[in-house]
Amino acid sequence: MKRISTLLGLGVAAIVLQGALATVVSPPWCPDLALLVLVGIGLRWRGLARGLLLAALLGYSRDLLSGSLLGEHALLYLFTFTGTVVATRQLNLRGSWPLAGFAAGLTVFYGFGMLALTGFFVGGVDFRLNWLGAELVHAGVTGICAPAVSAVVGWASDWADDDPGRRSLGLDAIRRPA
């Protein structure tokens, strides 16, 4: 419970912080910190069902501060979280570069998901190339920030874990002794 509430608090803090940052930094250049926190959680989560609940709560929190329809971010958060959990089982995302690439790809996917949902529920979506440009910049900036945010999530997750046996030992399976 402590872990869930800590990560929920971290996720909400990221949503609030990025909203404030966006008033200072132009939105495409502002990293999607909230999405990165969700990816960070997905990388470490065990037990999909409770993780999905956490993802939905974070998504709804984001919907409340965003101009989206209530439930739009929540739905995409469910897909993003599930995608991250599945990808973690199939891919090695421990290094900075793979994680940055994965987060950037996920940001683009998220953008198109948002576009599709808005088009379906609101209508009037005409896709333009400059949107893609803005989304790619946004994805790049988000990808660059991914390792740092993931490290913060990892630290918070370890700190709040009630079961010391599950805490990360900091072992890197890739690095082998010479």
One-letter amino acid of 55: A
| Least distance CB 100 / another protein (angstroms) | 18
Nearer to another protein, 94 or 108 (CB): 108
| Least distance CB 101 / another protein (angstroms) | 20
Nearer to another protein, 65 or 144 (CB): 65
Nearer to another protein, 78 or 160 (CB): 78
| Least distance CB 95 / another protein (angstroms) | 26
d(CA 163, CA 170): 16
Nearer to another protein, 98 or 145 (CB): 145
Nearer to another protein, 142 or 157 (CB): 142
- The alpha carbons of the chain give a radius of gyration, in whole angstroms, of 16
- Tokens for 52, please give them: 């999905």
Burial environment of residue 15 by CB neighbours within 10 A (0 to 12, 13 to 18, 19 or more): buried
| Least distance CB 56 / another protein (angstroms) | 5
**Residue from 39, 49, 47 nearest 7 by CA:** 39
Burial environment of residue 16 by CB neighbours within 10 A (0 to 12, 13 to 18, 19 or more): middle
| Least distance CB 138 / another protein (angstroms) | 7
Which helix (H) or strand (E) segment is 67 a member of? Answer: none
Under the rule (CB under 8 A), what is the footprint of another protein? 12, 15-24, 26-28, 30-32, 48-49, 52-53, 56, 59-61, 64-72, 74-75, 78, 82, 111, 114-115, 117-118, 121-126, 128, 130-131, 134-135, 138
Q: What is the DSSP code (8-state) at residue 91? A: S
- Tokens for 41, please give them: 């959680």
